[in-house]
Chains A and B, each alone.
Chain A
Amino acid sequence: MFEVLRNETLAPQVHRMVVRAPRVAKARQPGQFVIVRLEEGAERIPLTIADADPVAGTITLIIQAVGLSTQRIVAVQAGGFIRDVAGPLGKATEIHNVGKVVCVGGGVGTAVLFPLAAAAARAGNEVTTIIGGRSAPYVILRDELAQFSKEVLVTTEDGSLGVKGFVTAVLEQILNDPARKPAEVFAVGPVGMMAAIVKLTRAANVKTVVSLNPIMVDGTGMCGGCRVTVGGKIQFACVDGPEFDGLAVDFKELSDRQATYKDHECKLTGK
């Protein structure tokens, strides 16, 4: 059993939870995730570790309650327990000092972006961060990212905060400005957003790292449910990822596979 020490709401349906998991906290590196199973009978849900405190033995998870399982997880208050937390899983982020990097986060993807951006800054990079959301309340971690970013640019679809529109428009401006053009882009968010970003960075010939969150069961390479095609080869996001060369990822297939269980109950029985 893993105790929940804190649970706060960051945005509508987005919670920041601090969980006691000493072994995970000690081993964790940026970019890794855990598999969480709330209770007996529940699904195994992969969640990126946003932060870890090896001394306190705690990890921080930022969770968007999109389905029943995540809704139940974020309903656990401080003092409550999560039955299973396994990890840290996946490969750690490979961070090098390349000079300028742009980090792009969409929605709750910003939570996954946060440790990558922090690690990029720690490695000596000049970090420009672009984060977007549906409207102002959905823009998360702006202040936290500002602590190590040269600037944090915000976009909202309704214009309620920052620039009206999508993160891609802001990124495109930066890519087209020789003075600001980065050596590398990190992008985390909905599959459609990452696909759109890669379209821009491919044209601009900029290395792009994306973090993928496909459907997953065990998280240890055993089932292959999280397979994605990268550079024409099958890769397992749980052990070969979750970060991949965005320019090589087959986003069409990924987006397709993400929809497998959208309405699975009746899909194939023809009912």
Chain B
Amino acid sequence: MPEWWLEVVLPSTIFGLMLILWIIIPPKNNEDDFGSKIRSLIIKMVKK
């Protein structure tokens, strides 16, 4: 395993997970942020 694997894997995993959480958890007050926009887009694509 290369020396730098931790520096790449750890932030990627954490921030990736947070991005997923931001998208999949519905906003509390119908907030119009980036996460909710992506979420709406995905829902629309799935419904089609």
Instruction: Tell me, yes or no, whether A binds B.
Output: no
Report which A residues bind B (CB closer than 8 A).
none
Report which B residues bind A (CB closer than 8 A).
none
